[in-house]
Amino acid sequence: MGKMPSVTVEVGAFSAAATLTSGQCFRWTERDGKLCGTAFGRYVEMRQEGGTLTVFGADRQEYDRLWRGYLDLSRDYEAIRREVTAIDPRLGECAAYAAGVHILAQEPWEALCSFVISQNNNIPRIRGIIGRLCLLCGTPALRGEQAVDEAEGYAFPTPEALAEVSEQTFRELGCGYRAAYLTELSRAAAEGRIDFDAIKKAPIDEARKKLRLLKGVGPKVAECALLYGFGRLECFPIDVWIRRALETEFAGGTALMDSPFAGVAQQYIFEYIRRHPPR
């Protein structure tokens, strides 16, 4: 058994904890001072000390190929903060508070399914459902060259694997009414009726339309999937927290929604407002 690889990099103001626990994804757990999770079938553990991040389970080549992009570490977030706060100066306090948060570049299929499951749901339940789905029909993730025996160490199931799951089984896993959505969504993806590449490249209104044609995908799910799974930073998901902000501190702040970085602005508002709720 070879030594487990690791890589240490400088990440500046980025915060792994704030990013990975911000509600963008549901596969990461904080344990023993590390963030443990799986993406793209690879399991790693991350520890951050100041501006230094160590990724355990990945070598430099894997980090450059996968994790740098997943954590969006090559993008200039300081420039983005300047741009969005120039659009609406009221964003300044939120952007400063959540400066370490990046938008994750997740697999489109996983993001789409995750946000279908997230409808009218809370994060602990979402995490539980996704974890059970992965245990049921995901494959063990790899850490280095070894398969992982950890609760978080299963790859998200492929469309083909989920298409074999019955609607009743989805219900038994806790999906509730969303079971019917997952059944149809999985079959559509497995049969090639969802062109993920075309959605990623389409003009944004066309991409929204394509996703909203899918059963169980409304405006909020489509915006979340596009932002967190298709890299469409111009998307601006509106949940109860954001709606509250738009009715209070950010009343009339619709100009932010037209920014090419609307999704980053939204994330800053979300992080701030849920910890500093309006009175």
Q: How far apart are CA 111 and CA 98, in angstroms?
A: 22
Selecting among 3, 209, 215, 220, the annotated active-site residue is 220
Q: Which two tokens stand for residue 114?
A: 């995750």
Q: What is the 3-state composition of the chain as percent helix, strand, coil, each rounded to the nearest 5?
A: 50, 10, 40
- Extract the runs of DSSP E, i.e. beta strands, from 13-128: 28-31, 34-39, 42-49, 52-56
CA 229 to chain centre: 7
DSSP secondary structure, 11-25, as one string? -TT--HHHHHTSSS-
Q: Is 201 one of the catalytic residues?
A: no
| Residues involved in catalysis | 220
